[in-house]
Amino acid sequence: MAKEFIVAIELGSTNIIGVAGKKNIDGSISILSVIKEDSTSCINKGVVYNIDKTVQCLTNIIKRLETSLKAKVAQVYVGVGGQSIRSVKNTLIKELPLDTVVTLDMVNELMDENRNMTYPAQEVLDAITQEYKVDAQYQLDPVGIQCTRLEANLLNILWKKSFYRNLNKCFDNAGIAIAEMYLAPLALADSVLTDVEKRVGCVLVDLGAETTTVSVYYRNILRHLAVIPLGGNNITIDIASLQMDDENAEKMKRKYASAYTDSKDIDENLKYSIDEDRQVDSKTFIEIVEARLEEIIKNVWYQVPSEYTDKLLGGFIITGGVSNMKNIEKAFKQHTGVDKIRIANFVQETINSNIPEITAHDATMNTVLGLIAKGDMNCAGDELTSDLFAKENNTETTSTVVEAPKAPRSITETQGRGVVPTEAEKQKAEEEARRKREEEEAEQRAREEEERRLEEEKRKNSPLNKLFRKTKNFFEQIMKEEGE
């Protein structure tokens, strides 16, 4: 009997993580396998910079997953995130004749126009509709409303084209089929934020190793997205400035670091041990850690658009590895003035697993679990067999998708859902758009030719033209007779 499971891959700055899970009838998810590969030599700030090493990591993850699952992995879900991802507002306007009723085609035309927007060296990954302005009224759905002016307010999510192409190239070179690519921050938000938090306004802060991702929600809509190139590793580097290597600095951060310490609780005489022979003043250590945390938090607060700073009834929701730091809530309250702070150390979905990385609930697996939760296509291929005579000449079993519940969706269907089209899907969509334009241009030329033909025929058959031809023929006949 064919297996069914979903595989998701997150490309992090510290590790590339592959997770396989099975969705159960009761809505829970059973995690079957977790595989990690060190990515420090190929990924920086969430972005691929060494394609060959990334391909090797991905290949290793798939092989190890297949061994664990005893089945081929036919396709995977992928999260897109990291440095340079940002949101940009865009407004498009369509002037309409008097008493025009807005149709779905009109809305789709605006969406098509937005998809064709170009930004220097940037790729549009997705577009989030903020609202429509129908004449002077704001609406979430303008279809069926009569107006003379339709305005669409959109939030385009951008990423560097080179980053986008490198990511696609890695999976192509590794021979790994992509079921769907998702914007990692949106998949994370859907798994850790409550509906109430999204509705009343909140800021999701994903504190990672090399980047901090800020997502602002209000009235259930993503209003702003930005990635700050600062994270937990910056704290480690600062600690290492106290004359120690990065390994010892990381150990000290995990053991002693606090995001906030009240001045009255600082012991001027206390020292922290670096190793058997060396120590560092606790006050100096505290000042270094807090200075970097303050910088990160102030940058997070700066990313919140001014029109939403007084509407964050849901407060700050903090996740990611650095969210485990002691007193992180106090630090955010101190530097933002927002009292409502929640640590999201695990996803909202019911997860069944005895794997330590999952049961730790330390917020480091939230994004990849969010990707698993998004998956709705079977990623299992043929089952592996230990029977050497199962295939003639020891030919390897080819990997095929079995009983996929749903077919991959088009770019139009996925817009606004955080789904990022792969390069192949984009090329297919562009080819389809080019073919459609050519067909429309051919139809237009045919119509114009037909109109010219009818106009010419009409002109020839007009009474005046008939009289002219008769007169012309009459005089030609007279001239002919005189000539004879």
pLDDT tens readout for residues 229-276: 999 999 999 999 999 999 999 999 999 999 999 988 999 889 999 888
- What percent of the chain is modeled with pLDDT above 70? 88
| pLDDT score recorded for residue 423 | 72
Average pLDDT over residues 11-35: 96
| pLDDT score recorded for residue 404 | 41
Mean pLDDT rounded to a whole number for the chain: 88
pLDDT digits (tens, 9 = 90+) for 392-410: 444 444 434 344 444 555 5
Average pLDDT over residues 113-125: 90
| pLDDT score recorded for residue 58 | 98
| pLDDT score recorded for residue 431 | 74
Pick 296 or 446 by higher pLDDT: 296
Residue 156, pLDDT > 90, answer yes
Between 36-40, 294-298, 460-464, the lowest mean confidence (pLDDT) is in 460-464
Residue 418, pLDDT > 90, answer no
- What percent of the chain is modeled with pLDDT above 90? 72
Residue 456, pLDDT > 90, answer no
Residue 29, pLDDT > 80, answer yes
| pLDDT score recorded for residue 406 | 47
Secondary structure of the chain as H, E, C letters? CCCCCEEEEEECCCEEEEEEEEECCCCCEEEEEEEEEECCCCEECCEECCHHHHHHHHHHHHHHHHHHHCEEECCEEEEECCCCCEEEEEEEEEEEEEEEECCHHHHHHHHHHHHCCCECCEEEEEEEEEEEEECCEEECCCCCCEEEEEEEEEEEEEEEHHHHHHHHHHHHHHCCCEEEEEEHHHHHHHHHCCHHHHHHCEEEEEECCCCEEEEEEECCEEEEEEEECCCHHHHHHHHHCCCCCHHHHHHHHHHHCECCCCHHHCCCCCEEECCCCCEEEHHHHHHHHHHHHHHHHHHHHHHCCHHHCCCCCCEEEEECHHHHCECHHHHHHHHHCCCCEEECCCCCCCEECCCHHHHCCCCCCHHHHHHHHHCCCCCEEEECCCCCCCCHHHCCCCCCCCCCCCCCCCHHHHCCCCEECCHHHHHHHHHHHHHHHHHHHHHHHHHHHHHHHHHHHHHHCCHHHHHHHHHHHHHHHHHHHHHC
| pLDDT score recorded for residue 475 | 66
Average pLDDT over residues 451-458: 77
| pLDDT score recorded for residue 427 | 72
pLDDT digits (tens, 9 = 90+) for 335-391: 999 999 999 999 999 999 999 999 999 999 999 999 999 999 999 998 876 554 444
Average pLDDT over residues 126-153: 94
Band of residue 414 on the pLDDT scale cut at 50, 70, 90:
low
Residue 416, pLDDT > 70, answer no
Between 3-7, 46-50, 333-337, 470-474, the lowest mean confidence (pLDDT) is in 470-474
Residue 216, pLDDT > 80, answer yes
Between 40-44, 165-169, 272-276, the lowest mean confidence (pLDDT) is in 272-276
Residue 69, pLDDT > 50, answer yes
Residue 306, pLDDT > 90, answer yes
Band of residue 444 on the pLDDT scale cut at 50, 70, 90:
confident
